[in-house]
Structure 1
Amino acid sequence: MARTPKAMLEILQGTPLWVFGVFLLICYYGFKALRPTRESPSVLLITPCIFVFWSLFSLNYRGHLTMTLSAWLTGIAVGSATALFLFPTRCLTLDDAGRRLVVPGTWKILAIYLLFFAVRYFIGYQAAVHPERSNDVQIVLIACTVSGFTVGLFCGRATSFYRKWLKLRVT
């Protein structure tokens, strides 16, 4: 069924206000990542933890526990491996004090945030419009895999950056 601009506007008008707040927040942090930052090891590890908990709490476990966790863990593994290619560590340095990692700006963080938001928005929209389908295997697999993939990207990035920070501190 083709969507008209009017139908798309109705979808947006039916979106809860807090969703727009979340969208603005992820845009803020995504645009902030376009510039170089100095990240402490603890801050480096906070973002993946937030995504792990958000992801775990938002998964649909009803009737699909094994499949849900398997798809989520597969997504994490693929996302972590992908992070090694997307976020090279060769350009990372320590700040003058030798405590924080200097991370160059990148558009990739914004893209990942927007991907995660778009998928979560789609899943939420489907659950609101077609609640009878929210437990369909395809919807559950898409949600779990993409959620796991996003978590994996941030976990892989944080792990490789943390390892680089440790290496730079020793040398």
Structure 2
Amino acid sequence: MLLEILRHTPLWVYGLLLGLLLLGLKQSRDRRLGLRQAYLLPLLMVALSLLGMASSFGWQGGMVLWWLAGLALAATLGRGLAGQVRGRYHRASGQFEVQGSWAPLLLILAIFFTKYGVGVMTALHPSLFQPGPVAGLCLLYGALSGLFCARALGLWRLKQAA
């Protein structure tokens, strides 16, 4: 069954996965980032998560609220883990010097495979998507995005401390 699912996956999905893998692997190395570059990944992943939620379940008010609740909760609670960005901000150059981390790759893959799994389950068993499980999935999408927001807030704190 797994091979059948993989065969029916559109080719662009594999291209997206490859691009996301490369982006995540890049995060594992020490690097210097400008302001725009530093905040681009969190913004992209929040957008991917929100669009994943909306494309699977629509823009229903309740589902968006669950997504926002997950985002706010993880952004707040994730400050200790995801928000601990190792590095520093150089005011003169306007750049961050950030140590590499595998956490962004794990979060990227979590968002991708959550979206992929929901897509497969929607195609195979659409009747499974009742309000309770859908709310939980929206909460999960939001929470994964919230961890990226916590990381962005960690970068912002580095900048403020400089």
Shared topology, TM-score over 0.5? yes
* Partners of 2:87 and 2:13 in 1: CA distance: 34
Within 5 A, what are the aligned runs for 1:32-111?
Answer: 32-58=26-52, 59=54, 60-61=57-58, 65-87=60-82, 88-89=84-85, 91-95=86-90, 97-111=92-106
Superposition misfits of 4+ residues, deviation over 6 angstroms: none
- Kindly indicate whether the alpha-carbon contact (under 8 Å) linking 2:45 and 2:108 is maintained by their aligned counterparts in 1: no
Aligned partner letter, 2:10: P
| Residues 52, 113 of structure 1: alpha-carbon distance in 2 compared, 3 angstrom cutoff | closer
> Aligned-pair RMSD on alpha carbons?
2.0
TM-score under structure 1 length normalisation: 0.82
**1:30-52: per-residue Cα shift (whole Å, max 9, x none)?**
11111012122222222222233
**1:80-116: per-residue Cα shift (whole Å, max 9, x none)?**
1243122314x32235954211110111111111111
SS in 1 for 2:127: helix
Q: Which of 98, 117, 120 is matched with 1:122 structurally?
A: 117
- Kindly indicate whether the alpha-carbon contact (under 8 Å) linking 2:111 and 2:141 is maintained by their aligned counterparts in 1: yes
The number of equivalent residue pairs is 158
SS in 1 for 2:106: helix
Kindly state the Cα deviation for residue 73 of structure 1 after the two structures are TM-superposed.
1.3
Query: What residue number does 1:146 align with?
Result: 140
- Kindly indicate whether the alpha-carbon contact (under 8 Å) linking 1:75 and 1:147 is maintained by their aligned counterparts in 2: yes
TM-score under structure 2 length normalisation: 0.86
Query: What residue number does 2:128 align with?
Result: 133
- Kindly indicate whether the alpha-carbon contact (under 8 Å) linking 1:38 and 1:95 is maintained by their aligned counterparts in 2: no
Q: Which runs of 5+ in 1 are unaligned?
A: 1-6
